[in-house]
Structure formats: structure tokens, C-alpha cells
Structure 1
Amino acid sequence: MRCFECHRSGADEVAEAVCCQCGVAVCRQHARIEKQELHKDAGLGKSTHALSARRVVCPVCARAEHSP
């Protein structure tokens, strides 16, 4: 599989991950690795796990998520 972002710019790079939001394949350079807190129901509220999960997003989705 090839990186979608590299292909758009005329390069040819092997993809290493898939964006969890839109599903495009991305290479190491274009992958944005972020932490994600995991929650579980605990009585009347939520409890947060001690460890964060990992999620990969492409640059377009990362910008969209962090836009005001």
C-alpha cells in the first residue's frame, strides 16, 4: 500500500498506518500519532484508564480535529 499524501505530491512512499478517521493510508512522515484517553462506566460517572491508547490520523484529519 502507498501513502495517499505522498502520492498527491508525486512521491512514492510505502504506507505504515491507516487514519482512524478517514481511512487513508499514510507513511511515517505523514502519520500523526496522538494519545486517546479511554473511559469506562463506573457507577454514576466515568472512570479514566491510567494508560492512554494510541491513535493514528492523517494530516488533514489532525488539522480538522484541532481547528477552532
Structure 2
Amino acid sequence: MKCYDCDTEARTDTSAIGVCDRCGLLTCQDHSHVVPAGVLVPNGLGRTLSPLPARRVVCHTCRAAETAR
């Protein structure tokens, strides 16, 4: 499978390594960001945040949107 962003740039030398957690497009290592993700775990009557973060993959476009101020 090919990275969506590389395909739009007419690059054919890269393969996708993951799927963006936000938009669902395939992304390569150059266009992806692996970011920490909080995990809610049951704790008594409620939930709490796990001390160990999980990880998720987002594409360059979604990462830029998430970090825009």
C-alpha cells in the first residue's frame, strides 16, 4: 500500500507504515507522527488515566491541525 501524501506528490518509492488515527489515510514514515495517547482504565466507580501512555499514529496534516494554536 502507498502513502496518500506521497501519492499526491507523485512519489512511488515509499510504502505506508500505518493508518492515521484521525482521518484514516495510509501514511509513510516521512508523513507520520507517533504521539502518546492517554488510556482510561477502570478505577472503583470511575475511571482514571493510566500512568503509561499508549501510542497512536497521525498523518502530517492531522498533526498540524492538532497542534495549531
Provide structure 2 residue ranges, at least 5 long, that are not aligned to the other structure.
none
Distance 2:18 2:45 in 1: 37
Provide structure 1 residue ranges, at least 5 long, that are not aligned to the other structure.
none
Matches within 5 A, 1:1-68: 1-12=1-12, 13-43=14-44, 46-68=47-69
Distance 1:56 1:64 in 2: 14
Give me the identity figure in percent: 34
Task: Quote the RMSD (CA, aligned, Å).
Answer: 1.4
**How far did residue 40 of structure 1 move?**
3.0
SS at match of 1:5: helix
TM-score, scaled to structure 2: 0.86
TM-score, scaled to structure 1: 0.87
Deviates more, 1:10-19 or 1:41-50: 41-50
